[in-house]
């Protein structure tokens, strides 16, 4: 039995308009924080998202794409 390949580590980065990173988080904790914020504070989360849009901030997900496993005959 072979060991499973490690999952690629993806990083979510929030950038200001100049390109400087403001926040860098791994994907799973970033998604968990967003889900909790939406569930507990939907209006505050919506206002924060609008403020980020008005400031022209950007979001990027960096990390390697998973390799395709070879077909098993």
pTM for the predicted model, two decimal places: 0.68
In tens, the pLDDT along 8-48 reads 789 999 999 999 999 999 999 999 999 999 999 999 999 99
In tens, the pLDDT along 11-21 reads 999 999 999 99
Distances from the Cα of 38 to the Cαs of 5, 31, 63, 68, in angstroms? 33, 11, 25, 34
In the chain, beta strands by DSSP E: 11-15, 21-26, 58-62
Q: Are 62 and 11 in contact (CB under 8 A)?
A: yes
Q: Structural domain boundaries of the chain? A: 11-62
Question: What integer pLDDT is reported at residue 63 of this predicted model?
Answer: 84
């Amino acid at each position: 039995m072979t060991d499973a390949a490690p999952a690629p580590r993806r990083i979510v980065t929030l950038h200001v308009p100049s390109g400087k990173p403001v926040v860098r988080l791994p994907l799973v904790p970033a998604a968990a924080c967003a889900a909790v914020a939406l569930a507990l504070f939907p209006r505050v989360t919506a206002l924060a998202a609008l403020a980020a849009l008005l400031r022209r901030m950007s979001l990027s997900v960096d990390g390697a794409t998973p390799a395709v496993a070879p077909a098993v005959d």
